[in-house]
Amino acid sequence: MKLLKYTFIIAALITVLFSCEKDDGITGDPENDKIPTITSMNAGRDTIKFGGDTTLIVCEAMGGSLNYLWEVDLGNLDPVGDGSTAIFSGGGCCVGMKTIKCKVSNSKGYIDGTADVFILEP
């Protein structure tokens, strides 16, 4: 009877030990297990006029579950779709070179990309 009891206890312990998953942050999907990388970032037009002229900025990135955060010191940025693109326009206060920044992130980290757009006076 004791042998049966010990056999049951050992079987239960083995089941518990091998059924617990270790959460090491690895998902099994190679793209989700990497810090994002930006493969390209550019403006459809690198020169626009202020006062309603726009250009589409595209940030192409690799990695899983990507989030995009767009920034510019002066001008308007409107993210489109999944956030990997944004429409940029500048007003009269924005004449000159503007650097548009896109921060791409996921649970593993982030990377910044930039694109320059020159805004002309009419």
96-106 and 37-43 as β-strands: parallel, antiparallel, unpaired?
A: unpaired
Domain ranges of the chain: 36-120
Q: Encode pLDDT of 15-44 as tens digits.
A: 544 554 444 444 555 656 789 999 999 999
Report residue 13's pLDDT band, with 50, 70 and 90 as the boundaries. Answer: very low
CATH code assigned to 36-120 = 2.60.40.10
Task: Look at the pTM and tell me if it is higher than 0.75.
Answer: no
Torsion of CA 120, 81, 78, 39, to 10 degrees: -60
Helix (H) or strand (E) holding 38: strand 37-43
Q: Encode pLDDT of 64-96 as tens digits.
A: 999 999 999 989 999 999 999 999 998 777 899
